[in-house]
Amino acid sequence: MNKNLFLTILLAPAMMLASYAQSGKANKALLVKADETLQFAAKQYKLMMTHVPDSVLPRTTNTKDGSLMTSGSGWWTSGFYPGTTWYLYEYTKDPAFKAEALKRMAIVQKEQYNTRTHDLGFMMYCPFGNALRITGDTAWKTILLTSARSLVTRFNPTVGCIKSWDHGTWKFPVIIDNMMNLELLNWATRVSGDPQFEKIARIHANTTIKNHFRADYSSYHVIDYDPATGAVYQKKTHQGAADSSAWARGQAWGLYGYTLMFRDTKDKAYLEQARHIADYILNSPRMPADLVPYWDYHAKEVPNALRDVSAAAVTASALLELSRYTDKTTGKRYWQAAEKMLTSLCSPAYLAKAGENNDFILMHSVGSLPHNSEVDVPLTYADYYFVEALLRYKQWAK
């Protein structure tokens, strides 16, 4: 969830190895398509602004009747819509997007005090981090620092992780998704000078490397710990095909999470982990030719399994950034894979038609197939990371 998109990559020059994109070999056709798609995205979201009730946030499409499904501020995806409108304001300079972002952020703002969720990075850093970055208004810092303080209340030093869920029969569940919320803590240390935020982020990331990944660098979805001893109680899935499978969006969360951890900390262990995850994804014999993953790399329905466009959007955005931190040959591979993913996502197979899809940009995401929830529908976070990836491509392909 890189909110400091263009301004906060502060790596030393020796670590900022030349990317393939910077060698002047960017795909010109994709650059044109990126602009066309961002213009289309702006038109879709202009329509969405008129269709979403004032007190809620857009979430997905209701699979029963095709209507727009919304959420309150406490749902984990509440920050993505205002985050996307900030990105579209940044691209278009249209003040209507800024006004919409501020309007929806007013709904979400109270979640800064929410200590019952690990998703404050998604909920708060996506909109408020972008607001701070784009406008320079330091008023947003207080809200973000409060959010970071709320998030670290969920950290258990014995386990070495931030607890993900308070529901169900889990003892101390930690999901791979939680890697995405560490960016808020790294930011909090940079801004406040308090090293504890980043220290907790590092401990969580290190514990996750130790326990979440298999020998091939695929990831379990959920690790349940004993909160009293820190021992691993069980390794499970919640949204994947099986406990032993590789849920596609989970692999994407891990890739993105370790890429941002390297950017923020300069710790090469995180760069190596990100590279291993990227290689697992790109080397998978079950990756489709268009590089839009099946919802799970081990889904029994492959090659007829549903695709998860949200996994492709997150992966593409992460690969673009990761390509900047590697040697030229490796960077070329990651960059070109991201180009292929974005080319696919910009195609009619996945891109909505104007005025359709409840005004979302992308079609064919999968939330949780085992729970028959948000299956083969648009998702607000797929749009967010897709727009982010297109903006990154335009910025870094120069």
Which residues have a catalytic role annotated? 119, 177
Pick from 111, 55, 54: nearest CA to 79: 111
Say how many C-beta atoms besides its own lie within 10 A of residue 245's C-beta: 18
| Cα gap 395→398, rounded to integer Å | 6
| Cα gap 274→216, rounded to integer Å | 13
Torsion region of 355: left, alpha or beta (phi above 0 gives left; psi -120 to 50 gives alpha): left
Strand partners, 60: 69, 379
User: Is 58 within 8 Å of 52 (Cβ atoms)?
Assistant: yes
Q: How far apart are the first and last CA of the chain?
A: 22
Strand partners, 236: 222
| Cα gap 25→372, rounded to integer Å | 43
